[in-house]
Copies of this chain bind each other. A is one copy, B any other.
Amino acid sequence: MAAKSNGPIDTGRVIPGPTNPMVTPLLTDLYQFTMAYAYWKAGKHNERAVFDLYFRKNPFGGEYTIFAGLEECIRFIANFKLTEDEIAFVRESLSSSCEDGFYDYLRGVDCLGVEVYAIAEGTVVFPKVPLIRVEGPIAVVQLLETPFLNLVNYASLVATNAARHRFVAGESKNLLEFGLRRAQGPDGGIAASRYCYLGGFHATSNVAAGKLFGIPLRGTHSHAFVSSFMSPDEIIDKTLRSSDGQSTCEDFVSLVQTWLSKIKWSKSLNGTFGETNQSEVAAFTSYALAFPNNFLALVDTYDVMRSGIPNYCAVALALNDLGYKASGIRLDSGDLAYLSCEARKIFRIIEKEFGVPEFGKTNITASNDLNEETLDALNKQGHEVDSFGIGTYVVTCYAQAALGCVFKLVEINNQPRIKLSEDVTKVSIPCKKRSYRLYGKEGYPLVDIMTGENEPPPKVGERILCRHPFNESKRAYVVPQRVEELMKCFWPGTPGGVREDLPSLRDIRERCITQLKKMRPDHMRKLNPTPYKVSVSANLYEFIHFLWLNEAPVGELQ
């Protein structure tokens, strides 16, 4: 099992391998190896190539994306080396006519001659702007294409999904990721927990992810726990020491039963409650005996209002007698808006009638197939939920299960290359580029601009023309109040070269949350968000269109 992210890493220090040991140089498409052979055979394998990794469209019908997955890419290339066993398998998979020299070449391949520039992980990013620029010997960089895309695509998708859920839920709510059981495989689950946290979730149920990444863990019990009990008679050890250790309640089970009947006959509750399910109260009592400091009960196994809530209250009040504060309830079915409001009413009545301070504020967690839409609907309806447990929809990105990052050749041997397409959104932006985020007077980012690598950077206070890369009529002058260069060097081409540290997951999460707060609200809203502008410099615009005309065949109408 890989080590955890150990925070900032000095240039001289070792970068650990990928978190998932299955991420090896063979985690790539076969054609990367057939191409590597063809490059090698043509003597082209060491030609210097520049590739951009970017996406073309924001996911989930939104106008922003969170960039994630960079650390794993860097861990991967920092440790890139084919084993003899792997080389033997490549040989088996390629044509038997391939020459032996190629396998000697593969034996020596590493990523020391590769340079990686990237936007910092956790940054809010937009279509067409390179997230990562990889430069190096073409045969080596091609081998990186598939793993880089694999490591970035899902990470960015799920981080964005998490950020969107957080946005809809509202800042005051707690978001818990409960998706492991429905995730797309083991590290579909582990990566989901990591990148949901990055995108603003507060905790996960996934113990392995907690251990690997230091994510706070949450969890109490399931319906099976409740139905595994038959009646309170099964509880053998009924004693519970008080919170301050000063006294011991010899029969906590009876104390709970006493409270159950007090609730039943309470004046202010006015006969709301009758008999409750005894298998449920047995389970709650037993759970409270095990975790008197963390009693949180799942209240919908039998009937929330007729059984779960009164049973919870009885156990919570019994705990209160011994100086413990119960943690709350979880609702996992039914009308969550209605049930949370009804539960809140009961908690408030009990606070008043029995004089238990804060009981009205009992934490209510809701789960059960929640997603952006249901959170939005709950908000519109009005609810009393404090925490949301979200599983399937956030981890599998059910609303859009893939992000379409691509990895395109933009330059080889200092010659810019363009990929044409009849679909203009699929035309690539050629050249080794730099990109900048320009900020306006109110502190909001206004536009991202890409320039040729050697153009002078935009300057604060100086007017600059920003052009849409493909639509000649779309252009605007901007006078930036702040200019931020987006890509930094995360992996220098030379050993010992200067590079950015890899921040801790917590720092990346902070960056993400801060960046999201800085965005102009109309880019963020769920319904009809305003697209954020992405542009190229006037020079780059001219060059793109020169190259385009040069490469495109002239049609003949017949």
A224 interface residue, CB < 8 Å from B? yes
Q: Mark A35-60, 1 if CB is under 8 A from B, else 0.
A: 10111011110010101000000000
Q: Mark A164-191, 1 if CB is under 8 A from B, else 0.
A: 0000000000000010111111111111
B95 touches A228 (CB 8 A): no
Q: How far is the CB of A51 from chain B (nearest CB, A)?
A: 7
Q: Out of B39, B98, B187, B400, name the residue touching A186 (CB < 8 Å).
A: B187
A30 interface residue, CB < 8 Å from B? yes
| CB under 8 Å from chain B, chain A span 298-313 | 301-303, 306-307
Instruction: Write out the residue numbers on chain B whose beta carbons fall within 8 Å of the beta carbon of A28.
Output: 180, 206-208
A439 interface residue, CB < 8 Å from B? no
Q: Out of B183, B220, B302, name the residue touching A184 (CB < 8 Å).
A: B183
Q: How far is the CB of A19 from chain B (nearest CB, A)?
A: 8
Q: Out of B210, B397, B409, B423, name the residue touching A228 (CB < 8 Å).
A: B409
A155 to B292, CA, bound (A): 39
B417 touches A404 (CB 8 A): no
**Copies of this chain held together in the complex:** 2
Q: A143-151, A445-453, A496-504: which lies at the B interface?
A: A143-151
Question: Contacts A146-B180, A303-B553: A207 and B294 contacting too (C-beta < 8 A)?
Answer: no
What range describes how many residues of A lie at the interface?
35 or more
Instruction: Write out the residue numbers on chain B whose beta carbons fall within 8 Å of the beta carbon of A397.
Output: 184, 401
Question: Contacts A29-B206, A30-B205, A153-B182: A187 and B225 contacting too (C-beta < 8 A)?
Answer: no
A553 touches B207 (CB 8 A): no
Residue among A181, A211, A303, A423 with max Cβ neighbours from chain B (10 Å):
A181
B219 touches A27 (CB 8 A): no
A93 interface residue, CB < 8 Å from B? yes
Residue among A93, A289, A556 with max Cβ neighbours from chain B (10 Å):
A93
A210 touches B93 (CB 8 A): yes
A417 to B224, CA, bound (A): 9
Q: Mark A336-348, 1 if CB is under 8 A from B, else 0.
A: 0000000000000
A257 to B5, CA, bound (A): 55
Instruction: Write out the residue numbers on chain B whose beta carbons fall within 8 Å of the beta carbon of A225.
Output: 35, 38-39, 142
Instruction: Write out the residue numbers on chain B whose beta carbons fall within 8 Å of the beta carbon of A35.
Output: 221-222, 224-225
A37 to B207, CA, bound (A): 15
Question: Contacts A34-B220, A93-B210, A181-B149: A49 and B228 contacting too (C-beta < 8 A)?
Answer: yes
Q: Out of B27, B180, B392, name the residue touching A150 (CB < 8 Å).
A: B180
A329 interface residue, CB < 8 Å from B? no
A422 touches B334 (CB 8 A): yes
Q: How far is the CB of A178 from chain B (nearest CB, A)?
A: 7
A511 to B459, CA, bound (A): 66
Q: Can you report 28 A-B residue pairs in the complex whose CB atoms are below 8 A from each other?
A: A20-B187, A22-B190, A28-B207, A28-B208, A29-B180, A30-B218, A34-B220, A34-B221, A34-B291, A35-B221, A38-B225, A39-B225, A41-B290, A42-B286, A42-B289, A42-B290, A89-B207, A150-B186, A151-B186, A154-B188, A184-B184, A185-B187, A185-B191, A224-B409, A277-B553, A302-B420, A302-B552, A398-B400
- List 18 additional A-B contacts (Cβ < 8 Å) besides A27-B208, A44-B286, A401-B401: A1-B24, A27-B189, A27-B190, A29-B178, A29-B181, A30-B210, A30-B218, A34-B291, A35-B225, A51-B224, A97-B292, A142-B224, A153-B183, A181-B405, A184-B185, A185-B190, A227-B412, A303-B553
